[in-house]
Structure 1
Amino acid sequence: MERFSIHWTIDSNHSGMVLRDFLIREKQVSRSALTDIKFSGGALLVNNKAVTVREVLAEGDSVTVIFPAESASGSMKAVEQGLSIIYEDEHILLLNKPPYLPTIPSRHSKTSLAQGVLYYYKTKKIDRTIHVVNRLDRDTSGIVLIAKHRYAHDLLARQQKKQEINRLYRAVVHGYMNESTGRIDRPIGRKENSIIERCVREDGQRAATNYEVIKRAKDCSYLSLWLETGRTHQIRVHLSSIHHPLVGDDLYGGKMDKIKRQALHSYKISFFHPFTGEKMTFKASFPEDMSNLIDKNFDSIE
């Protein structure tokens, strides 16, 4: 099975460091990953010789980390889907997810985006686990970021925790929104007697959503939104709580006369490449139903 490896050359700033400290502090390799490397078929090499994490490094040393082989869960079935790939390299994969498709397998759906990625990996002879960085609801369309190996996922998860992965959503909501910009800061928790629905509640988790009105119509408004937190159904719950539910979101008070699912699209993402450090920004085109909704109600604007 395929094993991912990465290499660094030690400079004068890191000369004299113990390998463990170099990997954890400087390269953000997690302690659990180091444990797996030791016990699950990985390796640590300095100048092509196997070493332990206690190895003292010198300027000019070549450090190689070989991560244990990954393989997808045997319980997940690969399903061909014809993925809409926005960007791909050896570390990351960005996809434009269509609506009506869950990000990961569930009891209520025969297929998922993750199963499509697994099929794609198999055609490319990539033997890896599916590492989803950001999930979208089944009926939300747009950008999903996937790490192609565990180390990339760990690095991107750190960015996410520090709010360095910025995602911009586009949405259509019911009603004419008077305020051009706003911030909804209301805690969200599970609704009593429901395993799916969420609601604003005092004992919930902190949640903050920012919005800007792009254009207004008589009975609906077109918004750009960005999140400070990532709670389940956050945008849907917050907009419903200010009496502007998403068009098509019948779970949270929206009507389905204009579109048959919540009018929400993950439109843009910005983050730092986990290995090059380059600032990367991508956009995802609208699916047909969302594009038609916007064109019919807002004079064909983006």
Structure 2
Amino acid sequence: MANEWRINEQDELLKFLYKALSGKSRNSVKSILSRGQVVLNGKVTTQFNEKLQPGDKVQIKNRVVPEDVKLRGVEIVYEDEDLMVVEKAAGLLTIATDTEKQATAYRELTYYLRRTQPKRQLFIVHRLDRDTSGLLIFAKNKETQQALQNAWKENVKERTYLALVEGHVAKDGTISSWLTEGKGPAHKMHSSQKDNGGKKAITHYKVAKASRDMSLLEVNLETGRKNQIRVHMQDIGHPVVGDKKYGARLNPLRRLGLHAYAISFVHPKTGKTLRFESDVPKDFLKMFFG
């Protein structure tokens, strides 16, 4: 065993692991637990809320992924027989395009599966823009992919983003409009307050932090349209920082100020509701705390 502890007081397993493994990110700790590396009193457990009692022994098995499998720009947060939840870094595509075939989350995870589970395949469930970081779901079989995609609105209970936007946003709000995609190489989305035959888009937002120059918003999607948050933030006069395409003037992060922060969905095989939450990007917080 790589690490071993004897419990001195009552605690919950995940809370204890955060403290015991304080040098690792919260997502890394969750990944260790969800992938069956944690042993409690001699038995593997993946339960985040497992109750610990004085005298219990917690151990962490050695790395289950081969040492020579190095994932670039993507971290596995949760994995079971049917799906994976991963965190994608900004700058990495979800899947290949005509101009970029190599630097994609799909390619990295396919490589991982070939080395560890060669009979498994990888299927796209949904996507994030290249410059958006955060949580993504991938399926490991066609049935799971189809079950999630065909009942996406019913299965996905929460999709929360963090948006760092320009200017001081004074209060919470909701944005509703119809979105259409423009022609030309930019494929820019256009928003209309009237039904123009486009797709209805609804975005709810809450102010988490605000300064004179920037605001950090917690954004919940009622619908999932292309570039929805980006165009809706432009609609209210507070474009996402770094988003020149939709009116931003500032780019302090040298990336898009958008992060897929939390996702909750019903597992299509078990029927259980799973929820995952990532860390707030440190560069977002630096805009307020230095």
**TM-score normalised by the chain length of structure 2:** 0.70
Name 1:225's counterpart in structure 2: 219
Q: Report whether the alignment pairs 1:191 with 2:182.
A: yes
Kept in 2, the 8 Å contact 1:96–1:144? The answer is: yes
Q: Is the 8 A contact 2:114 2:120 kept in 1?
A: no
Q: How does 1:199-210 map to 2 (within 5 A)?
A: 199-201=190-192, 202-210=196-204
* Aligned-partner residue type, residue 276 of structure 1: T
Q: Does 1:258 align with 2:248?
A: no
Question: Which structure has more strand as a fraction of its residues?
Answer: 2
Structure 2: tracts of 5 or more residues without a match? 1-69
In structure 2, the partner of 1:292 is 283
Specify the alignment match of 1:7 in structure 2. none
Aligned-residue identity in percent: 34
1:126 aligns with 2:136: no
Pairs aligned (count): 218
Shift of 1:195: 4.4
Could you tell me which of 93, 96, 105 is aligned with 1:113? 105
| Cα pair 1:159 1:165 within 8 Å, conserved | no
After superposition, residues 131-280 of structure 1 pair within 5 angstroms as 131-162=123-154, 164-179=156-171, 181-201=172-192, 202-280=196-274
- Provide Cα deviations, 1:79-137, integer angstroms capped at 9, x if missing partner: 96363110001011010000001101012223211111110110113334421212000
Distance of aligned partners of 1:101 and 1:276 in 2 relative to their CA distance in 1, 3 Å threshold: same
Deviation at 1:243, TM superposition (A): 0.8
Q: Does structure 2 retain, via aligned residues, the 8 Å contact 1:142–1:285?
A: no
Larger Rg: 1
**Deviation of the 1:257 alpha carbon:** 3.5
**Please, which runs of 5 or more residues in structure 1 have no aligned partner?**
1-78
Q: Contact 2:113 / 2:121 at 8 angstroms: preserved in 1?
A: no
- Matched with 2:30 is none
Cα distance in 2 for residues equivalent to 1:97 and 1:174: 24
CA distance 1:168–1:80, shift in 2 (3 Å): closer
Within a 5 Å distance, the mapping from 1:35-114 to structure 2 comes to 81=72, 83-109=74-100, 110-114=102-106
Residues 253 and 283, structure 2, Cα contact 8 Å, conserved in 1 = no
What letter matches 2:228 in structure 1?
Q
Q: CA deviation at 1:156?
A: 1.5
The runs of at least 4 consecutive aligned structure 1 residues that moved more than 4 Å come to: none
RMSD: 2.1
Residue 263 of structure 1 aligns with an amino acid whose one-letter code is: G
